[in-house]
Amino acid sequence: MINDEFLEKYRVLEDLLSERYAGETRRHSSVIIEFENSKEGEIFRDRLDLCREIRNLLTHNASLEGEPVVTPARATLDMLDDIIAYVRRPPLAANWAVSAERMMTTNMRAPALRIMRAMESKGFSHVPVIENERMMGVFSQSTVFSYICGRGERVDEYTLVGDMARFLPLEKHSSERFAFIPADTSYVDAAAAFTPGPQREKRLAALFLTQTGARNEPLIGMITPWDILGRAKRQIVRPEFGDERAAVDEQM
């Protein structure tokens, strides 16, 4: 019976979340509510609220004069399956990274203005600087700002990226920071990395993926807050209840 199937799936979800939150301090007695009110689970909130209402009706008011008060649609069970699959195995952050093949990169000999114009036209905010297959730093708006203000220089057709070498290393960016993560990092952990920290902490501008998370390894991809908190959320959840089509990724 579909009602029993729904309740069983709901119990499975509760068990999985109970395991996840085991030993943690919770704000809510219900693990479902705890999850849907977390940064990670907010993308499922409307769906989980609906499931909780159905579950409460089936548990406390299962029938009226011998007839079921409510019968979940098959799409609702599919929706629960999606959430269970996510909780069991959160997707990898690499699924939403800009791959090394698609990533815009530059080198020390490139004209800075040419790179700046390409960044503006293509909507890129950060461009890795690669020399001998190693990342030497990141060229960004912060780089140019520091170069102009810190050196009193101006940028013209003869200015090279290498002229800004002092401001390219990751630790030299005045208002932003970067981090390296392994290729098997989950979406959950990557999203958590972009959560604002202490007030004085520099904002995380990008995550760089390498095989083990070491910065001296070849780049596999790059993730920005938009990739992990914007595009990813639209793809994780089906657009409509019961819609069997996968969400389509927007091409940059």
Q: What was the pLDDT predicted at 89?
A: 87
What SS3 class is residue 85? helix
Q: What was the pLDDT predicted at 13?
A: 97
Q: What was the pLDDT predicted at 175?
A: 85
Q: What was the pLDDT predicted at 249?
A: 33
Q: What was the pLDDT predicted at 43?
A: 82
Beta strands in 33-133 (DSSP E): 63-64, 67-68, 98-99, 126-131
Q: What was the pLDDT predicted at 244?
A: 32
With bands split at pLDDT 50, 70 and 90, how would you rate the model's confidence at 247?
Answer: very low
Q: What was the pLDDT predicted at 230?
A: 63
Q: What was the pLDDT predicted at 23?
A: 87
Look at 13-17, 35-39, 119-123, 228-232 and tell me which has the smallest mean pLDDT. Answer: 228-232
Q: What was the pLDDT predicted at 201?
A: 75
Q: Is 123 left (phi over 0), alpha (psi -120 to 50) or beta?
A: left
Using a 10 angstrom Cβ sphere, with 0-12 exposed, 13-18 middle and 19 or more buried, the burial of residue 179 is middle
Here the tokens at position 161 are: 């990226």
Tokens 């003869």, residue located? 158
Overall pTM > 0.75: no
Q: What was the pLDDT predicted at 133?
A: 83
108 pLDDT above the threshold of 90 = yes
Q: What was the pLDDT predicted at 182?
A: 96
Q: Around Cβ 59, how many Cβ atoms within 10 Å?
A: 10
Q: What's the CA gap between 144 and 116, in Å, rounded?
A: 9
Kindly state the average pLDDT of the residues 100-124: 94
Kindly state the average pLDDT of the residues 1-12: 92
pLDDT tens figures, 32-89: 999 999 878 888 899 999 999 999 988 886 666 667 678 889 999 999 999 999 999 8
Q: What was the pLDDT predicted at 243?
A: 35
Here the tokens at position 85 are: 């699959």
Kindly state the average pLDDT of the residues 126-130: 95
With bands split at pLDDT 50, 70 and 90, how would you rate the model's confidence at 212?
Answer: very high
pLDDT tens figures, 235-245: 555 444 333 32
pLDDT tens figures, 157-205: 999 999 999 999 999 998 899 999 999 998 888 888 887 766 667 889 9
User: Cα dist. 158→25, 83, 110, 161 in Å?
Assistant: 58, 54, 10, 10
- Enumerate residues 6+ apart whose C-beta is below 8 A from 188: 40, 90
